[in-house]
Amino acid sequence: MKVITISREFGSGGRELGKRLADALHVPCHDEQIIEMIAQENGFDQQYVANVSESSMEAAYPMTIGNRFAAMPAVPIMDQPIRVAVAQRRIIEELAAKGDCVVVGRCADVILRDLHPLNLFVYADMDSKVRRCMERAKEEENLTYKEMVRKIKQVDKGRAHHRLMYDDGKWGAKECYHLCINTSGREIKAMVPAIAQFCKDWFNQQ
């Protein structure tokens, strides 16, 4: 089975890269549908699920609880963030079990480690991330440059803390991934062919 996971800094273009890479490899890309499935199953708002699935719960729960998510039943008595985490892990495992795919974010590299995925990390310099975010931001946000920098740092801090619930490895540390991709000042579309070839060669050598 060929599973590729995409971890990414906010604004780095990791989501776009994951979708384009999946298209180039002719495999499914599992991203926002994970949020939709969790929300539908639990009757939650999708934005709430999106926020919880990439933020920290360390203040309320022990760091080691992530290792027990798979065995914990999602019952109504559980707090909502835990229900989201349990459903997220199960859904990611079920989607990956269906066959070759690309999974974007949500600690998929750790959750699917038994499948020996190819783990990519996408990053960029702050100026590139801000410009990309501001180009794609909804009109009602209308954030200034400094406000966008603050938002990017906040989101990435949440992702780093969220990973600690599942694994001791540091989010973004090169030793946790097989390939780190710098998208600073680069067009995502133009980078995909080379990355797709790398992925093919990686799995052919397994």
CA distances from 70 to 49, 67, 93, 118, 164 (A): 18, 7, 10, 22, 16
CATH code, 183: 3.40.50.300
d(CA 106, CA 52): 10
Residue 203, in any domain of the structure: no
Residue 117, in any domain of the structure: yes
Tokens describing residue 131: 């410009």
Nearest to 7 by CA among 175, 189, 132, 190: 175
170 secondary structure, DSSP code: P
Residue 160, in any domain of the structure: yes
The reported pLDDT for the residue numbered 98 is 96
Nearest to 112 by CA among 19, 9, 34: 34
Length of the chain: 206
Residue 88's domain comprises: 3-198
Tokens describing residue 48: 């709430």
The residue to which tokens 């974007």 are assigned = 104
Residue 35, in any domain of the structure: yes
Residue 206, in any domain of the structure: no
Neighbours of 185 (CB within 10 A): 10
d(CA 108, CA 120): 11
Nearest to 13 by CA among 185, 164, 158, 188: 188
Does residue 56 sit in helix, strand or coil? coil
Element (H, E) at 50: helix 46-52
d(CA 145, CA 139): 14
- How many distinct structural domains can be found in the chain? 1
Per-residue pLDDT of the chain (206 residues; tens, 9 = 90+): 899 999 999 999 999 999 999 999 999 999 989 999 989 888 888 888 887 777 655 433 443 344 444 444 444 434 777 888 888 899 999 999 999 999 999 999 999 999 999 999 999 999 999 999 998 876 557 899 999 999 999 999 989 988 887 888 899 999 999 999 999 999 999 999 999 999 999 999 97
106 secondary structure, DSSP code: T
Distance of CA 136 to the CA centre of its chain: 18
